[in-house]
Structure 1
Amino acid sequence: MRKILIPTDFSANATNAINYALELFKYEVCIFYFMHAFQDDIYTDEALLTREALSETTKIVGDQSQKELETTLKDVKERCPNPRFSYRIIASNNVLVDEADKIVDEENIDIIVMGTRGKTNDRKLSFGSHTLQVLKYVACPVLAIPEGYKYTQPKHVLFPTNYLIPFKRRELKLLCEMLFPFRAKIDMLYVSINDGLSLRQEDNKAFVAESLRKNNVNFYTVKKKQITRTINAYINEKAIDMLVMVNTRHSHLENILFQSRFDKIGLNINIPFLALQNIKRDT
């Protein structure tokens, strides 16, 4: 049974992410956890908040969170009466990244699906602060859905890699099973100015091929120096409808996400983006 966590702030972006997840996993037996962490909402007007009013404000915000989650759930059940799906709602007096991390551990979540930005984030950036925090600190694959992205079946997926990462079987299995119903083609793209692969790279490539053997996987090497520019060009030229990358220490993705701003790096993510986390978890 697939376990999917969807954080929401009840924005249009969050609703869009929910809709995408419902379509993407419609062939699987799933439990969806709709979660709203409302601690930040309590302190929105902290300058006006007194100690005496804190308890009352917390109750009001918590009750509103629960009510909106129930409304979300009612709407989902009406729009998507899938007998394979079951649901949980979680209203928590916590910050989003901590609550997400807690639920992932307690419920053994397979994947987090969320919008690339929340309702308060800068529209000039590809990723909002909450999404970046979840990507960086929560040990779980994250599927980020761009604002306004209209669902389309993932048919052509790009997976850039240098084959230096010891891929996790659980995460590759997730990717395999997620894409198999759509007969998606997966392009493994190695961007390098060097010829050939080391023994380590060859072993990791073989592991990927074995783990994704049920999928239509193609392996490509492009002799280029500019990795980000090459990824962007490939996405545009090949009509890619999902980008997959692995986030681990000293990876290209880590450099893009956490050491520089997207508007400087120039990785244009306007398609669903799956970040595998390459972190040891139960299989």
Structure 2
Amino acid sequence: MKNIVLLTDFSENSQNAINYALEFFKNDTCQFYVMHVHKMGSYTMDDLMLAPDQNVYDSIVKKPKKRLNEIIQNLENIKKTNHKFETIVDFDDFTDAINQIVVSKKIDFVVLGSNGVTGAKEVLFGSNTLNVIRKVNCKTLVVPKQYIYQPIKGAVLALDSSDDVTDIIVSQLKSFMITHPFLLNVLRINPHQNKTEYTFYDHSYLEKIPHRYYTINDVPTHYAINSFIQIKNIGMSILFINKEGFFERLFSSSAKTKISNSLKTPLLIFHNKI
């Protein structure tokens, strides 16, 4: 059984990500945890004084708990028989709260939308999404705003000249593709015509899983990925996170604006560590 956190800030975007997850994992037996994390400082004195006969914790979680229960009620009407739901409210630091649940509930995936309530068009990922990707050591599925589920026929694993394919990467991909089979396209990007020896090592590791392998030189990373997604009819992008890796460069402030309006597929994040 898969244990999956569905993060929500009660926005349309987070609800859309939840809907996507239910379809994506429809054939899996899943325990879903619909989770809301709120900063303690966002609660007013009125919130704390609404029910003087309750303790502080009950006063704080009352409103979000009610909204989570409403989400669950709606999901119960459309759920698969192999899906179960629980709610979680926390008012800890955002990523700390998620990391605690990942450990305590043995979470396999964290699912969230790319933007939150603000929905700023120029921002690809909100700060909470970026923090989850960087600081939560768990497979993470990020669903773009208004993206409607469709079966994935092909996915792209993008690598640049500083990324190594490792046994950890191959193991995680193989495990994922057992229950979610698709055509894996590996795109090795050398944006400045760097001569690397990675191709040989890539093939030695990747021969363990079905894939197609492509290299592209002297093309900016964001152009390479976005063009490949359109040409190959890609339904999901895959990245592996290192401490100072591809993701940090790809989503730096200079690159973020360039790709924000063109990356339209869900993004699956793996971490290159156990």
* Contact 2:124–2:257 (Cα < 8 Å) also in 1: no
**Letter paired with 2:121:** R
* Cα 1:196–1:137 shift into 2, 3 Å: closer
Amino acid at match of 1:260: S
1:36–1:96 contact (8 Å) kept in structure 2: no
Structure 1 residues 124 and 204, CA, compared in 2 at 3 Å: closer, same or farther?
A: same
1:17-96 superposed matches below 5 A = 17-38=17-38, 40=39, 42-44=40-42, 49=45, 59-80=58-79, 82-96=80-94
Q: 1:225 Cα shift?
A: 4.0
Distance 1:261 1:71 in 2: 40
CA contact (8 A) 1:158 1:243 kept: yes
Partner amino acid, structure 2, of 1:177 = I
User: Residue 238 of structure 1 is aligned with which of 228, 232, 236?
Assistant: 232
Q: Displacement of 1:275 after TM fit?
A: 1.4
Task: Determine if the alignment matches structure 1 residue 98 to structure 2 residue 92.
Answer: no
Hey, what does 2:177 align to over in structure 1? 176
For residue 12 of structure 2, what is the aligned residue in structure 1? Answer: 12
Residue 149 of structure 1 aligns to which amino acid in structure 2? Y
CA displacement 1:66-112 (0-9 Å, x = unmatched): 111111111111012x1211222111222321111111111221111
Asked whether 1:135 is paired with 2:129, we answer: no
Whole-angstrom distance in 1 between the partners of 2:12 and 2:20: 12
Shift of 1:131: 0.4
TM-score by length of 2: 0.86
Listed one character per residue, the Cα deviations across residues 208-243 of structure 1 (whole Å, up to 9, x for unaligned) are 331x34xxx211122334222211111122222211
Describe how 1:191-206 pairs up with structure 2 within 5 A: 191-192=189-190, 193-194=193-194, 197-198=197-198, 202-206=200-204
TM-superposed deviation, 1:196 = 6.4
- Which of residues 257, 260, 263 in structure 1 aligns to 2:253? 260
Correspondent of 2:266 among 264, 272, 277: 272
Note the aligned Cα RMSD (angstroms).
Answer: 2.6
Matched residue, 1:112 = 110
- Identity percentage over the alignment? 25
SS of the aligned residue for 1:126 comes to coil
Q: Whole-Å Cα distance in 2 between the matches of residues 205 and 36 of structure 1? A: 42
State the distance in 2 between where 1:205 and 1:265 align: 31
Structure 2 unaligned residues grouped into runs of 5+: none
CA deviation profile, 1:17-51 (whole Å, cap 9, x unmatched): 1110110111111111111112x2x53366xx49x
Distance 2:94 2:7 in 1: 8
> What amino acid sits opposite 1:148 in the alignment?
Q
Moved more, 61-70 or 162-171: 162-171
Task: Give the aligned length.
Answer: 265
Amino acid of the residue matched to residue 70 of structure 2?
Answer: T
Cα distance in structure 1, aligned partners of 2:148 and 2:25: 16
Whether contact under 8 Å (2:185, 2:214) holds in the other structure is yes
CA contact (8 A) 1:36 1:92 kept: yes
How far is the alpha carbon of 1:150 from its aligned partner? 1.0
Query: For the structure 1 residues 219 and 270, does the alpha-carbon distance in structure 2 shift closer, same or farther, using more than 3 Å as the test?
Result: same
Q: 2:121 aligns with which of 109, 120, 123?
A: 123
Secondary structure of 1:161's match? strand
Residue identity in the other structure for 2:144: P
Q: Is the contact between residue 167 and residue 278 of structure 1 (CA under 8 Å) also seen in structure 2? A: no
SS at structure 2 position matched to 1:177: helix
Contact 1:167/1:208, CA 8 A, preserved across alignment: no
Counterpart CA distance in 2 for 1:170 and 1:108 is: 19
